[in-house]
Structure 1
Amino acid sequence: FSLEQAQGVLHAARFQGRWRSLLTSLHLSTLYEPLRDDKPELASFLDELRARQTRWMKELHLDKVQTQQAYDLLHWCDRLSLILCRNELPEMGRAVEIYPDPLGNGQRTAHWVRQPGGPGSPVVVTPWPFADKELVVSVEAQQLHQLRFRDDAELAAALHFGPTQTLCWILQPG
C-alpha cells in the first residue's frame, strides 16, 4: 500500500470528471478500507474519500443504490480484466469466479470464467451477462523477459521501449 500512490490515482481521476472520480474513490475505498486499523495514516484519507463520495453523489443526483450498482459493474469488469491480463484462467477447463454480479434488485449471482479449450481458445462466461452472443476484448501489453530492475526508472524505460503486442480474448456464453 502506498498512500501517495492512492492519492495520485484519485488526483488523476479528478481531471476526468466527477463520475470518474466517484468510481475511482469507491474502488480505493474497497481496496484500502480493510487496512484502516493497521495503517493510522490511512484513516483520514478514507474519511476524506467518504466525504467526497457523498458530495459527488449529491452533485451527480445519484442515490446509494445507483452508485453501488455502477461500482459493482466496474468491480466485476475490473476483476474479469485482471483474470485475463494476469493469465489466471485455471488449466484443464476449470472455472474461477469473476465477482458476484449485481442483479439490480439487491441480489447477486456468481459468475464464472473458464477456458475449456486451453490457451488461445474462447473464454466461457457463465451465466452470460451480455446482450451480444459473443464479445471480443483486447488489451495492449508489453511483455518483459527481464525479471528484476534496479529501480522504477529502469522498469519504466523497459516498458516504454519494449515491443507492444495486442492480447485478445473471445468471450462466449457457457
Structure 2
Amino acid sequence: MIVNLEQDGWQVIYHRAHALLAAQLAGQWRRKDAPPRLYETVAAISHHDDLEREWEGNELTRAGTPLDFTLEQGTSVEQLSEQIESSRYRGRWVTLMTSMHISRLTEPSRGTSKELDKFLDEQLELQQQYQKELEIPKEDVDAAYAFMQWCDRLSLILCQQKLPEDERALEVSKGPDGKRYDVIQFRDNRVTIRPWPFEDEEFTVNVETCKLSQVKFDSNTELREALQQAPIEVLEWTFEKR
C-alpha cells in the first residue's frame, strides 16, 4: 500500500486503487496515437497490482506504523507465479503485459536464488511465445508496455504526492512513442502534461484513500480493522491542456 504521513495521521492508498487511477489515465490517451490493443492494455494496467492484498499480509513496520510499499522486503516467487496465473484468465495479451511488468521490477534481483532465476527465465520464454502467437511486432509490444509503465508512473507520482512545487516540471517517463513527457502542477492545483498526449483538453481523475488518525498499531489485525473502518476521502486531479 502507499502510505503518506500527514499532520493528523496517515493517508493510505491501496495498490489496486492506484492501478485503477493508472487505468483512468490510460483511458484518456489520444486515440489516434494509442498503442496496439488499447483496451486489453488498459485491463492489464487496471489489474497489474492484483497481487497486493493489504488485508491479508504484514503491513506494519517494526515501529508499528503502516508499511509503505517502498519499504517492503520483496515478493516471493510463489506470489509472482500466482499473479501470472491469475492474469491468464484475461488472455495472452494481458498476461504478456503483466509478465513484462514483473520482469522489469524483478530482474534487478536476479542471482539471489535459483528459484527466482528459473522464474525470470520462464517469463522471458513466455513473452517470446506470446508475442509470436499473437503475431505482433516486438516494437508494438514494447510500445504498449511503455504505455503501461507511463500510466503506472504518473499514477504513483499523484498517489505519493510527488508533484513538484512552484510549477516545476517533473519527467514522468518516455511514452509509447519514445518521447519524454513532463507533469506540471499549477498554482491553481490544476495539472498538465507536456507535450499533451490526451484526447480531451480537460478531464478529472480520482482515487480513494483511507484516513487513519491512529499513528501506531500493535498488530496487523488492529491495522486491518482500522483500515476497514477508516473514513474514505476522494482525491481528485483535473488535467488541462496548457
Structure 2-normalised TM-score? 0.63
Equivalent of 1:37 in 97, 103, 111: 111
After superposition, the Cα gap between the structure-2 partners of 1:163 and 1:58, relative to the gap in structure 1 and judged at 3 Å, is farther
Specify every segment of 5 or more residues in structure 2 that has no aligned partner in the other structure, as ranges: 1-73
**What CA deviation, in whole Å up to 9, does each residue of 1:114-134 have, x standing for no partner?**
21216xx11121111112111
Match of 1:127 in 2: 195
Q: Deviations over 1:48-83 (max 9, x none)?
A: 111111222233222211111111101100000000
Q: Secondary structure at the match of 1:142?
A: strand
Distance 1:163 1:15 in 2: 34
Using the alignment, how far apart are the partners of 1:15 and 1:152 within structure 2? Answer: 31
**TM-score, length basis structure 1:** 0.84
Matched, 1:168 2:240: no
Q: 2:146 maps to what in 1?
A: 72
Q: Structure with the greater relative contact order (CA < 8 A, sep ≥ 6): 1 or 2?
A: 2
Equivalent AA in structure 2 for residue 170 of structure 1: T
- Name the SS for the 1:130 alignment partner: coil
RMSD: 2.1
Determine whether 1:96 maps to 2:170.
yes
Farther off after superposition, 79-88 or 127-136:
127-136
Opposite residue 89 of structure 2, the aligned amino acid is F
Q: Which runs of 5+ in 1 are unaligned?
A: none
Identity of aligned residues (%): 40
Superposed displacement of residue 148, structure 1: 4.1
Q: CA deviation at 1:97?
A: 0.8
The residue correspondences of 1:12-161 to structure 2 (distance < 5 A) are 12-103=86-177, 108-117=178-187, 121-161=189-229
Distance change >3 Å, CA 95–CA 48, structure 1 → 2: same
Q: 1:111 is aligned with what amino acid?
A: Y
Deviations 1:36-57 (A, max 9, x none): 1344432111111111112222
Q: How many residues align?
A: 168
